[in-house]
């Protein structure tokens, strides 16, 4: 059911790679809720052309941009404002990549070039998205910027290796930039800490499938799906959450507040 929550709002959505991507679902829900937006991804990620289907479905223009490249990010805003006809009301940062995870390198033996690449792509890109908008004064008052995070920023998940550190940085950028941008322009900046979700980035993690089941059994409501995450993003982009900023918001079916569930105890004890 749609509520027209984003009617008249203009946005930029990063990170829709294929129909499993969280950003893909966010784009669909924002469209349903009446928003207009541009879609962007790294030029290399567009080779498969999947994003064209989403652009057609949602009436969005695609503006390729490598999120690590300040010039391309700046152009993303100027072109978006041009295409959409004014300043931007919401931005989704849905970008993550770790070469160390892809190559199964343990945390104690991280490759530092890969580590730096991971920081650049998955955390500094968020700062760049915010800094470019700030410099251009591209965001309307009370605009909402959301990035996607994971609870490994607070608790240790050995398989998440360098991304744990990188997500901690991402969440810190949301708080710190959120302070400055909030003071100056009332722009709000939050991170959503999402359940494990079956996507290309998620599936790249060793043992993901078992861990997905573990988290599902641990959470009273079960794992939050990508569709549910999209609804949460819509609420944060809407005027209903005008005063929410600088927060890391758990969207995980209650996982983060649960010590252990009876289902997991039964599994371990074999009852």
Q: Which residues are near ligand NAD by CB under 6 A?
A: 14-15, 17, 21-23, 41-42, 45, 66-68, 94-97, 121, 148-150, 194, 196-197, 199-202
Minimum CB distance to ligand NAD, residue 14 (Å): 6
What is the C-alpha to C-alpha distance for residues 172 and 252, in angstroms, rounded to an integer? 20
- Nearest CB to ligand NAD, comparing residues 105 and 159: 159
Minimum CB distance to ligand NAD, residue 21 (Å): 3
Which residue's structure tokens are 């649960």?
A: 258
What is the C-alpha to C-alpha distance for residues 182 and 243, in angstroms, rounded to an integer? 10
Report whether 212 contacts 159 (CB < 8 A). no
- Nearest CB to ligand NAD, comparing residues 15 and 178: 15
DSSP, res 153: G
Minimum CB distance to ligand NAD, residue 174 (Å): 12
| Residue 146, beta-bridge partner list | 92, 190
Minimum CB distance to ligand NAD, residue 83 (Å): 18
DSSP, res 195: P
- Nearest CB to ligand NAD, comparing residues 84 and 170: 170
- Nearest CB to ligand NAD, comparing residues 111 and 140: 111
Instruction: Specify the DSSP element, H or E, that contains 175.
Output: helix 161-185
- Nearest CB to ligand NAD, comparing residues 194 and 238: 194
Q: Which of 82, 85, 191, 218 is nearest to 130 (CA)?
A: 191
- Nearest CB to ligand NAD, comparing residues 95 and 139: 95
What is the C-alpha to C-alpha distance for residues 246 and 146, in angstroms, rounded to an integer? 10
Minimum CB distance to ligand NAD, residue 105 (Å): 17
Minimum CB distance to ligand NAD, residue 153 (Å): 10
Angle between helices 22-32 and 50-58 (to 10 degrees): 10
Q: DSSP states of 220-250 as a string?
A: TT-PPPHHHHHHHHHHHHSGGGTT--S-EEE
- Nearest CB to ligand NAD, comparing residues 104 and 184: 104
Minimum CB distance to ligand NAD, residue 48 (Å): 10
Minimum CB distance to ligand NAD, residue 27 (Å): 11
What are the strands, taking DSSP E only, across the chain?
Answer: 10-14, 36-40, 61-62, 88-93, 139-149, 188-194, 248-251
- Nearest CB to ligand NAD, comparing residues 60 and 201: 201
What is the C-alpha to C-alpha distance for residues 10 and 89, in angstroms, rounded to an integer? 5
């Amino acid at each position: 059911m749609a509520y027209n929550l984003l009617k008249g709002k203009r946005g930029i959505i990063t990170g829709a790679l294929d129909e499993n991507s969280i950003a893909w679902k966010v784009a669909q829900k924002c469209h349903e809720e009446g928003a207009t937006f541009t879609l962007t991804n790294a030029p290399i990620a567009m080779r498969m052309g999947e994003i064209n289907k989403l652009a057609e479905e949602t009436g969005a223009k695609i503006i390729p941009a490598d999120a690590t490249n300040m010039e391309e990010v700046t152009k993303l805003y100027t072109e978006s404002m041009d295409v959409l006809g004014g300043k931007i009301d919401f931005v989704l940062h849905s970008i993550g990549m770790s070469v160390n995870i892809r190559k199964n390198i343990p945390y104690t033996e991280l490759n530092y070039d890969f580590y730096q690449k991971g920081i650049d792509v998955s955390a500094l890109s968020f700062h760049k998205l915010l800094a470019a908008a700030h410099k251009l004064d591209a965001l309307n008052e009370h605009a909402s910027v959301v990035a996607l995070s994971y609870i490994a920023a607070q608790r240790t998940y050995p398989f998440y290796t360098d991304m744990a550190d990188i997500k901690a940085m991402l969440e810190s950028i949301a708080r710190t930039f959120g302070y400055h941008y909030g003071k100056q322009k009332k722009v709000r900046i939050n991170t959503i800490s999402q359940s494990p979700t079956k996507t290309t980035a998620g599936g790249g993690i060793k043992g993901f499938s078992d861990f997905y089941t573990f988290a599902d059994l641990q959470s009273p409501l079960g794992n939050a799906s990508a569709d549910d995450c999209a609804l949460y993003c819509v609420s944060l982009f809407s005027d209903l959450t005008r005063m929410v900023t600088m927060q890391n918001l758990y969207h995980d079916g209650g996982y983060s507040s649960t010590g252990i569930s009876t289902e997991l105890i039964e599994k371990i004890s074999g009852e």
